[in-house]
Amino acid sequence: FDRRLMQRALRNLIENALRASGRDGEVLVRVEPSGPDGAVAVTVSDRGPGVSDGDLERIFEPYFSTSSGGTGLGLPIARRIVQEHGGSITAVTRPGGGLAVRIVLPGGQSDASSSAGASN
């Protein structure tokens, strides 16, 4: 488990949500268990304008962006990091507007045991 890479993936999701929500917008980050095998789900939700169904299929493609200030790299980078950790990432439009991006990571070594192993 590479903590720095996962932080980058989460930072990309949160920055996208903040940009979409605007100055007074709401961003919600939810962490919860996902299934009996110790998997963890992290969902980053915003109340921005959302993404059309056609664009929803493309938001994880490099250089595709629905915002004028975006590079189109944040979500593809997050997807690659999550997949390299054996996880999955999906996006859905929220009822009432906005987007929810959900990462599911498999259970495994805790971060503490990973860090301890790395220092030996």
In which domain, by residue range, is 40 found? 3-119
Count the domains in the chain: 1
- Residues in the chain, total: 120
Segment 33-45, tens digit of pLDDT: 998 899 999 999 9
Q: What CATH number is given to the structural domain containing 89?
A: 3.30.565.10
The contacts of residue 94 (CB under 8 Å, 6+ apart) are 45, 46, 47, 50, 100
Which pTM was predicted? 0.86
pLDDT exceeds cutoff 50 at 118: no
Give residue 58's pLDDT band: very low, low, confident or very high (50, 70, 90): very high
